[in-house]
């Protein structure tokens, strides 16, 4: 396998790892009444008042970078070398996971604070706002519905379904 193919697979692995992590955290930690206090309390408050800023705290962004760059990338590089792969494949998994998390934050912000301008953002925005409108019981994947389909929590959204004004700030 060429170095480019290995790098591409590493990036896809990082994107997939973040996508799965996003779903797990959102469904089983942030929506758990008895879940970790910081995660569930803050997120359930977001559901009560979805247009209150900020959605992502500077602390969560900083911790993502610290954990990602200080732990995930080096450990990934080390594990890759143990597996006989180039060291950079593990680092790429970590970096692409971090990048996908930042995309998630942007997409989530856009869903509440910016009018959608593309087919993807219109679809994503309606799907996420439907998640809010249904009491947070469906459509947990903010950036992708893949894991909602896998775990049976995907609910299609009618393109004509009205969006309650309380869910957006535009």
Domain parsing of the chain, residue ranges: 3-167
Q: Write the burial class of residue 149 (CB in 10 Å: 0-12 exposed, 13-18 middle, 19+ buried).
A: exposed
pLDDT beyond 90 at 83 = no
| Average pLDDT of the residues of the chain | 88
Phi, psi of 116 (to 5 degrees): -70, 140
Both tokens of 118, joined, read 């593309």
- Flag whether pLDDT at 170 surpasses 90: no
Q: pLDDT digit string (tens) for 35-78?
A: 556 667 778 888 888 888 767 778 778 888 888 888 888 988 99
Mean per-residue pLDDT, 19-27: 92
Q: What is the mean pLDDT of residues 117-125?
A: 91
DSSP 151: H
| Contact of 18 with 68, CB cutoff 8 Å | no
Q: What pLDDT score does 159 carry?
A: 78
pLDDT attached to residue 39: 65
How would you classify residue 116: left for phi > 0, otherwise alpha for psi between -120 and 50, otherwise beta?
Answer: beta
Contact 73, 91 (CB under 8 A): yes
Least confident of 34-38, 88-92, 132-136: 34-38
Cα–Cα distance, 36 to 123 (Å, whole number): 30
Quote the tokens at residue 155.
């609910």
Give the model's pLDDT for residue 153: 97
- Contact (CB, 8 A) for 115 and 149: no
pLDDT at residue 34 tops 70: no
pLDDT at 87 over 70: yes
């Amino acid at each position: 396998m060429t170095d480019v193919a290995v790098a591409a697979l590493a990036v896809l692995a990082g994107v997939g790892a973040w996508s799965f992590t996003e779903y797990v955290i959102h469904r089983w930690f942030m929506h758990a009444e008895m879940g970790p206090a910081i995660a569930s309390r803050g997120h359930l408050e977001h559901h009560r008042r979805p247009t209150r800023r900020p959605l992502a705290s500077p602390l969560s962004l900083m911790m993502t970078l610290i954990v990602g760059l200080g732990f995930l990338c080096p450990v990934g590089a080390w594990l890759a070398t143990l597996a006989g792969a180039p060291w950079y494949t593990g680092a790429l998994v970590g970096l692409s996971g971090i990048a996908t998390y930042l995309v998630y934050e942007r997409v989530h912000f856009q869903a509440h604070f910016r009018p959608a301008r593309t087919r993807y953002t219109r679809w994503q925005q309606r799907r996420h706002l439907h998640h809010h409108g249904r009491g947070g019981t469906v459509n947990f994947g903010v950036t992708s519905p893949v894991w909602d389909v896998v775990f049976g929590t995907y609910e299609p959204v009618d393109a004509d379904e009205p969006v309650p004004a309380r869910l957006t700030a535009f």
